[in-house]
Amino acid sequence: MQTLPRVLCSSDAISSATSPATTRAQGLGLLGCGTVGSGVARRLLASHPGLIRGIAVRDPHKSRDIAWDDFSSDAFDLVDDPAVRVVVECIGGLGLARELILRAIARGKDVVTANKDLIATEGPWLAAFAARTGASLRYEAAVGGAIPIVRALGSSLAGEHVLEIGGVLNGTTNFILDAMESGARYDEALEEAQRLGFAESDPRSDVDGHDAAHKLAILAGLAFRRPSVSRSLGRRGIADISSADIEAGAARGLRLKLLAVARRAGDAIEAGVTPAYVPEDHPFARARGAENVVRVLGRGCGPLVFSGAGAGGDATASAVVADVLAALESRERVPAHDGEDLVVRSLRAPVLVRFADGRVVMGDAISLDALEASGAGGRRDVASIIPVWSDAA
């Protein structure tokens, strides 16, 4: 676990956290007003007039379709405003957004963010930092868009012994695979996903599996109640998937999905992100367009399937606003995890091998790491090797 930056642990920063001005304030500072931020602003301006104290954006003069005309370019000033108690970060990424969140936590404010990159790489220590300053950190919108899975794992399922968590966690890649099933080309489907506001600003994060790995790390931390970060997860994306791979699956009653799953395997946790064939009647196969499907398999609760809008401004804004309301009422914090960091090993699954001459054969179970290392086994006659999902017996 990372140590706290000295400057942010100073007694000044922590004492300002509990100043009466901050504790009494009810105002909200919105950082960023893009696809998600503008959705949040629109909803809150309609439902809670007077709540938004300021909106900080990179270019205050850009025209935006929301009823607000006093944009500021000084996000740090807005975070520091004593009238702001809840800071909503909708900038994304690990640069400025991270600095602003650190500052807000240092000042003991309630932070709401959709920033999966940050939570998946630094969430455990940020939660520990927040616990020290009296701040709170909520990130329902970081996983599954509108699907309330973060809160479900943190509270409703807090007593469950989770055996497996995951499924289809990236809307953009699901949209692309779905469109390719219907005959679209990969690049046109990706362009459409970008136009509809599903993709990340750099869509390589979607198609290379980074976004899904971030979300899986967050879910695994919550499900197994241990600090978890995404760098330890094996990951393959969909950039190499061809229509022939999709057709080979369809001919066998299988749909191709980008799966992100973590599950108990003996004493270990097996986890990873990979394109995989899934039987057509499996819950993971049901995600359509930009939908996500998250399945929690628990010893007591059995399989619970959560599905719905996994990407897009409105869906994500819905989850952000729910966190804002929880922060205002000081309800349902995401619990901070402690203990040893979660150790994962690579996911294993049997594979479907498609040869260049059109033959398709089922291969033995192999780990994602081994698959990554061997590629197509260096053989020209092998067109693709794709795992076939099998539920634990």
The yes or no reply on residue 152 touching ligand HSE (CB under 6 A) is no
Among positions 89, 140, 211, 245, the unique one binding ligand HSE when judged by CB under 6 A: 211
Nearest to ligand HSE of 319, 327 (CB atom): 319
Least separation, in Å, of the C-beta of 200 and ligand HSE? 5
- Distance between CA atoms of 148 and 146, rounded to whole angstroms? 6
Binding residue (CB under 6 A) for ligand HSE from 140, 200, 208, 323: 200
272 is a contact residue toward ligand HSE (CB under 6 A):
no
215 noted as active-site residue:
yes
| Residue 294 near ligand HSE by CB under 6 A | no
* Residues 371, 256 contacting (CB under 8 angstroms): no
Number of residues that bind ligand HSE (CB under 6 A): 11
- 166 interacts with ligand HSE by CB under 6 A: no
209 sits near ligand HSE (criterion: CB under 6 A):
no
Residue 291 binds to ligand HSE (criterion: CB under 6 A): no
In this structure, how many other beta carbons lie within 10 angstroms of the beta carbon of residue 360?
A: 17
> How far apart (Å, rounded) are the C-alpha atoms in residues 220 and 214?
10
Instruction: With H, G, I as helix, E, B as strand and everything else as coil, classify residue 291.
Output: strand
What CA–CA distance (Å, rounded) separates 44 from 157?
Answer: 29
Name which of 17 and 238 has its Cβ closer to ligand HSE.
238
Q: What does residue 170 show for φ and ψ, rounded to 5 degrees?
A: -125, 120
DSSP H helices, the chain, are 11-17, 20-24, 35-47, 75-80, 96-106, 116-133, 149-151, 171-181, 186-195, 204-207, 210-224, 243-250, 313-328, 368-374
Pairing type for strands 291-298 and 162-168 reads antiparallel
Using the minimum distance from each CB to ligand HSE, give the nearer residue, 37 or 310: 310
CA pair distance 229, 121, nearest whole angstrom: 5
Least distance (Å) from ligand HSE to the CB of residue 36? 9
Residue 376 in contact with residue 351, Cβ under 8 Å?
Answer: no
Q: Which of residues 170-189 bind ligand HSE (CB under 6 A)?
A: 170-172
Q: Which is nearer to ligand HSE, 324 or 353 (CB)?
A: 324
Residue 183 vs residues 244, 251, 372: alpha-carbon distances, Å: 11, 15, 28
From the number of C-beta atoms within 10 Å of its C-beta (0-12, 13-18, 19+), residue 359 rates as exposed
Interface region with ligand HSE, contact rule CB under 6 A, candidates 85-93, 149-157, 165-173, 324-332:
165-173
Stretch that binds ligand HSE, among 51-59, 196-204, 268-276, 362-370 (CB under 6 A): 196-204
Among 198, 277, 284, 389, binds ligand HSE (CB under 6 A): 198
Q: Tell whether residue 307 is a contact of ligand HSE (CB under 6 A).
A: no
* Interaction of residue 136 with ligand HSE, rule CB under 6 A: no
User: At its nearest, how many Å lie between ligand HSE and the CB of residue 85?
Assistant: 26
Whichever of 192 and 369 has its CB closer to ligand HSE, that residue is: 192
* Interface with ligand HSE, residue 199, by CB under 6 A: yes
Structure tokens at 16: 């300002």
Per annotation, catalytic residue among 109, 116, 215, 257:
215
Q: Which residues are catalytic?
A: 215
Interface residues with ligand HSE (CB under 6 A)? 145, 170-172, 198-200, 206, 211, 310-311
